[in-house]
Structure 1
């Protein structure tokens, strides 16, 4: 998937917002104010970062060479994935959805309720 496909898919998920807290070249996709996907827009990086379950992160890195520990992020909770990788789109969408759900479940009980997760 490319940047625009990733952005469009993520924004199609309920309650997702976007902003640029780190400057004009970094797009953060959030659920309940917490980042689950970070895209670099200048083209310097050929990958994006996703928040994932630590065990799932290790599995993904074993299964696919396009995944590696999150660049400039907590390596335990974030992975980097290459743009336009050979990973099928439905699998990539499922991993983005996992990042979304992983972040949503880390919200406070009140926020989960407001977002419709409880």
Structure 2
């Protein structure tokens, strides 16, 4: 998956915005104001940080050693850095984006969840 496919999939999800809150090279995706994905635009090959259930993070890091790693500059428990253009199945990357998005949506207040549902 290239960076444009990653961006297009993230931005297509309900309630998602994109911005550059840290610098002009780090693209951040938020759902209802909460971050669920980010990517550095200058990395080659492309990679992204995605939120992940802690137990699943360990399993993924073991199964995809060197391709899925503890989150770079993030909580190593709750975030993974995923190599987008290497040997990770396209479907798995989509699933990991969905998983990250769902974790954040499920942590939103009931008010924000209702707002999201009404979009």
Q: Determine if the TM-score, normalized by the shorter chain, exceeds 0.5.
A: yes
Q: Distance between the aligned counterparts of 2:96 and 2:48, measured in 1?
A: 12
Count of aligned pairs between the two proteins: 117
For structure 2, the 5+ residue unaligned runs are: none
1:63 maps to 63
Structure 1 residue 19: deviation in Å? Answer: 0.5
Q: Distance between the aligned counterparts of 1:67 and 1:85, measured in 2?
A: 10
1:91 maps to 92
Q: Distance between the aligned counterparts of 2:6 and 2:99, measured in 1?
A: 14
Q: Distance between the aligned counterparts of 2:9 and 2:109, measured in 1?
A: 25
Structure 1 residue ranges (4+ consecutive) displaced by more than 6 angstroms after TM superposition: none
1:54 maps to 54
Provide TM-score, normalisation by structure 1: 0.92
Q: Deviations over 1:74-112 (max 9, x none)?
A: 000000011202111111101110000011111111101
Q: Deviations over 1:34-84 (max 9, x none)?
A: 111011012367421001111111111111121010010000000001120
**Contact conserved, 2:3 with 2:46, CA < 8 A, in 1?**
no
2:102 maps to 101
